[in-house]
Amino acid sequence: MDWDDLRIFLAVARAESLSGAGRGLKIDPATVGRRVARLEDAVGARLFSKTPQGYALTEAGTRLQSHAERAEAAVLGASDAAEGPEGLTGQIRLGAPDGCANYLLPQVLARICDANPGLEVQVVALPRVFNLSKREADMAIGVSRPEAGRLTVQKLTDYRLHLAASRDYLARHAAILTPADLQAHRFVGYIPDMIFDKELDYLTEIGLKAPPLASNSVSVQLNFLRHGAGVGVVHDFALPAAPELMRVIPDQISLTRSFWLIRHADDGRVARLNRFAQQLLAEIRKEMQRLEAFA
């Protein structure tokens, strides 16, 4: 069985289309189709069924996928070993929720890349859960620990969140001295039906109703608050980037969450990704301590 055919098979399985796989591999979709057909002849089974939504794995394809992913990890591990242990090189794609991606990762990854000049890091900042099986990213940071899938999970750090508002807003509105006073204020938060993880449903936990100003983006919410739109929940590590804001009754309402580093189980044998994960863990913990000290 040809490894290159398996590589193309995995690309189709992840993209669910010949054209999507071709774009990722930089080869013609027709060539992708021929290579898949050749692999199907080699294994004596149909690996994909064509549906209106794209190419779906058959039962035989699903069985082959796990073996192909282990072969992929072995190839990556062999390539990694050949490069030697000195430094990190190549491209790594990291998925992260946008609050983490905007206010924590830039300075962390800049330091890691400064120490490893041959390293390229792509940050995919989306407010959703990443599908590592489809290789949307090499690894991802999540706000809750996944309960299913062939994944390895490592806790990166805890982080704190508090209510905050701009000094201008607080000067123009009734004082907030107790949680009961919050009912008289306008809130900023997530769009309720776009909360992709229960850990992000902060306002429900605090006992407040759906906010009249809402976004699925943490950065948009923060900018609402910076411009005096209301009160909202803010990561303490984001507060140094928004000096206009101040925390509201922090001794009475305080939330704690965690960031988790999530990886595909087969990647544990890839030394390059292991070294990156170790550096990411150390730098994120150090940066979190620095930023929360300013909150």
Exposure class string for 1-14: b at 16+ Cβ within 10 A, else e: eeeebbbbbbbbbb
44 with 58: CB under 8 angstroms? no
- 259: nearest Cα among 226, 216, 292, 211: 292
The model's pLDDT over 214-226, given as tens digits with 9 standing for 90+, comes to 999 999 999 999 9
The model's pLDDT over 139-197, given as tens digits with 9 standing for 90+, comes to 999 999 888 778 899 999 999 999 999 999 999 999 999 999 999 999 999 999 999 89
**Angle in degrees, 0-180, between the axes of helices 271-294 and 105-115, rounded to the nearest 10:** 130
Residue 69's pLDDT is what? Answer: 79
Residue 71's pLDDT is what? Answer: 79
Q: Can you read off the two tokens belonging to residue 281?
A: 């863990």
- The reply to whether the predicted model has a pTM over 0.75 is no
